[in-house]
Amino acid sequence: MNAPNFFAGVAIIIAGALLFFAGPQLVMLPSTQTQVASLFHDETFVVGDIWERSVQLDEAALVNGTVAVTSALTGGPSEVSMLVMDDAEYQKWVAHGSSTYVFQKDVSNRESFSFTVPRSGIYHFVFDNTNSPVKKKVTITAELEKQVAVSLPDERVRYVAYGLLAIGALVTAVGIMRRTKIPWA
């Protein structure tokens, strides 16, 4: 047995094992993940004139949803105006001023909607039924999708560890099979 080769091989195997288990946690890669959160889940309400709900939204978040509108009187399909605006624009809208909307559409039964939030803040979802004498039953489902920066373990480090384990095994095997030559014998 050749002791220097044997111990060098064992040291390389230990280094490879440490790199295999600890390496991915030490070397992290920046990445993004999409997080989906429920904003409204089959929330049902009756709109006489106006219904409003305020929510906190983050910049660049994508809001996707569906709205079902029926007449509260007959139960048949109907239509209502859906408005989404930030807090400053909502205050203008309440004061009957000129407002800018993030989203504005007359929605009907089982209609989808989607918009991107321009900046972080409080946003108001308003259902306006002031143009109709008939109350509307509205069911809304909406999800909030946003990109979140995360750090993920770098699994490529394990390939280096596999190489070190193979080299360490080879050096250890050579150390075991090789006889040490004694120079004075």
Residues 3-18 have pLDDT tens digits of: 888 888 899 999 999 9
The domain 31-150 having CATH identifier 1.10.760.10: the answer here is no
pLDDT band at 83 (very low <50, low <70, confident <90, very high): very high
CA-to-CA distance for 127 and 143, rounded, in angstroms?
Answer: 18
Give 54-82 pLDDT, tens digit per residue: 999 999 899 999 999 999 888 888 999 99
- Which neighbouring-strand residues pair with 36? 145
Positive or negative: CA dihedral 67, 73, 78, 84: negative
Model pLDDT, residue 3: 80
Give 104-137 pLDDT, tens digit per residue: 999 987 889 999 999 999 999 999 999 889 999 9
Model pLDDT, residue 123: 95
Domain boundaries, the chain: 3-27+154-177, 31-150
Q: Is the pTM of this model over 0.75?
A: no
> Does residue 161 register a pLDDT over 70?
yes
pLDDT band at 182 (very low <50, low <70, confident <90, very high): low
